[in-house]
């Protein structure tokens, strides 16, 4: 499936908060902190998070590298191979555009060490509880199940021996994607709740999905806070009456990363 979109590079600090293998509301997370970055001059319009592109995400360049098979899950290696081929092509900008499910700044940082990534993916994969892992000497490559299902698996990368973490930029980007869908301008046409869930199952928001009915635009976050596997992101939101007010989104970490649990208006 093609993953392309237009973008804004988020400025949130990369504060490690939780593991990709942690269930929603886990208690074994690092303590967080608050970062407030007011931006009153930004226009109250929605902007997609990456430069526009019509690149077919499933197109595989000629360059190849070995990708270790995953016992019992042949689709995992098959979905990672086209991403590895694009990594070998050496165009990081294209790779970031195709991987629109990951916050662009984080994707750029994670994908920078090509040699370490190639050494990891050459190892046999491990089918974990929530993701498939390829562990190398320097880094571990992790692919979520929604990415495998897409046929083009955009992984997360972390130093081997450390947790696969999420940060403030990830939290803010989850809210950006949610609001972009809500106003009818998703970051990519494929970015739907059915394919890439952003709302925590069983949450207050899941039981009342129309909380922001009438929203027409939104601006960049004015505050982002992460703490113990949860996050709060405050965003100026404009409704159909052209009234703008701050809305705070509550998030938690689940198997697919940050998901939204509730909205405070």
Domain stop point among 142, 159, 176? 159
Domain stop point among 100, 127, 159? 159
Spell out the SS3 assignment of the chain.
CCCCCCCCCCCCCCCCCEECCCCCCCCCCCCCCEEECCCCCCCCCCCCCCCCCCCCCCCCCCCCCCCCCCCCCHHHHHHHHHHHHHHHHCCHHHHHHHCCCCCHHHHHHHCCCHHHHHHHHCCCCEECCCEEEEECCCEEEEEEHHHHHHCCCCCEEEECCCCCEECHHHHHHHHHHHHHHHCCCCCCCCCCCCCCCCECCCCHHHHCCCCCCCEEEECCCCEEEEECCEEEEEEEEEECCCCEEEEEEEEEEECCEEEEEEEEC
The 10s digit of each residue's pLDDT in 2-14 is: 454 433 334 333 3
What's the pLDDT band for 157 if we cut at 50, 70, 90? very high
Domain stop point among 159, 181, 200? 159
Domain check: are 177 and 255 in the same one?
Answer: yes
Give the model's pLDDT for residue 55: 43
Give the model's pLDDT for residue 6: 39
Domain check: are 134 and 191 in the same one?
Answer: no
């Amino acid at each position: 499936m093609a993953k392309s979109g237009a973008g804004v590079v988020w400025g949130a600090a990369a504060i490690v908060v939780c593991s990709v293998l942690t269930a929603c509301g886990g208690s074994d997370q690092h303590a967080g902190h608050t970062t407030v970055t007011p931006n009153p001059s930004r226009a109250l319009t929605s902007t997609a998070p990456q430069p526009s592109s019509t690149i077919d995400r499933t197109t595989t360049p000629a360059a190849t590298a070995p990708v270790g098979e995953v016992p019992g899950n042949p689709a995992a290696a098959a979905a990672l191979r086209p991403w590895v081929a694009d990594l070998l092509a050496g165009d990081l900008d294209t790779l970031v555009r195709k991987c629109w499910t990951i916050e662009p700044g984080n994707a750029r940082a994670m994908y920078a060490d090509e040699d370490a990534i190639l050494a990891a993916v050459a190892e046999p994969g491990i089918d974990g509880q929530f993701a498939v892992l390829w562990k190398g000497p320097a880094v571990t490559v992790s692919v979520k199940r929604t990415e495998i299902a897409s046929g083009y698996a955009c992984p997360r990368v972390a130093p081997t021996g450390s947790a696969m973490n999420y940060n403030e930029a990830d939290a803010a980007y989850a809210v950006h994607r949610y609001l972009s869908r809500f106003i009818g301008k998703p970051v990519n046409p494929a970015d739907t709740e059915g394919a890439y869930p952003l709302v925590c199952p069983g949450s207050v928001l899941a039981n009342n999905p129309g909380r922001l009915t009438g929203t027409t635009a939104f601006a960049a976050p004015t505050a982002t806070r992460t703490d113990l596997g949860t996050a709060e992101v405050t965003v100026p939101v404009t409704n159909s009456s052209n009234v703008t007010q701050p809305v705070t989104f509550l998030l938690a970490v689940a198997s697919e990363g940050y998901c939204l649990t509730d909205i405070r208006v």
